[in-house]
Amino acid sequence: MIAQKRTKSILLVNQKDQAIGYGEKLAVHLLGRRHRAFSIFIFNSCGELLIQKRAREKYHSGGLWSNSACGHFSRPLISTRSVRRRLKEETGLSVPLQEVFSFAYRARLANNLIENEIDHVFVGRSDLKPNLNREEAVAYKYIGLEKLKKDLARHPERYSAWLKLIMDKYFRKLA
């Protein structure tokens, strides 16, 4: 049995992605504890990916370009409904999403925080213009995957750690 969740807490998981408890979001990232997260990739009808520039005030990876939206699970159930809710909060978009894969990774971030996640990747389709929540993101653009891969190679410092990893190792699973 896992402990009751607290305000601003995220779900901690073991290496098999089984819920083992909760932790306060910042503390989890300071200590590098494994937690469950999700990344959303929205493509338009031209096959271009919607990417967003994270708000500078974000506690990590602020000012970096990243995937369409992302977040952490706060409950043991992997709920597409909660993922869709987060997409709506960040971008104003409400579209059907499908989980396409998940993967584990660990990355040290620029401000001495550590991502240690099992990341569930969801894909959706939309040609609608996003209405960004300025507390989350300050800009967006649609970009072809090949063009994104080239820019990632030239300017990796402009992108979030998880987007770089997904585009490097799981590129084919997105298309």
- Residue 6 confidence (pLDDT): 42
The reply to whether 1 falls in a domain is no
Residue 72 lies in domain: 9-174
Helices 145-154 and 161-169: angle between axes, nearest 10 degrees: 120
Structural domain contains residue 20: yes
Q: What is the pTM of this model?
A: 0.92
Residue 2 lies in a domain: no
Please check whether residue 48 lies inside any domain of the structure. yes
pLDDT given for residue 171 in this prediction: 83
The CATH number for 167's domain is 3.90.79.10
The per-residue pLDDT for 22 is 97
Mean pLDDT of the chain: 93
**pLDDT greater than 90 at residue 47:** yes
In the chain, the percentage of residues whose pLDDT exceeds 70 is 95
Secondary structure in 3-state letters for 120-131 = EEEEEECCCCCC
For the chain, the domain total comes to 1
Average pLDDT over residues 113-123: 97
Q: Which residues are catalytic?
A: 70, 117
**What was the pLDDT predicted at 102?**
96
Q: Are β-strands 19-24 and 9-13 bridged in parallel, bridged antiparallel, or unpaired? A: antiparallel
pLDDT at 8: 82
In a domain, 74, yes or no: yes
Q: What mean pLDDT is predicted for residues 88-103?
A: 96
Number of helices followed by number of strands (H, E) in the chain: 5, 9
Alpha-carbon distance of 56 to 38, in angstroms, equals: 21
- Look at residue 4 and tell me if it is in a domain: no
Q: Is residue 107 part of a domain?
A: yes
Residue 160, domain member (yes or no)? yes
Angle at 85 between CA 39 and CA 87, to 5 degrees: 45
Q: What is the pLDDT of residue 2?
A: 42
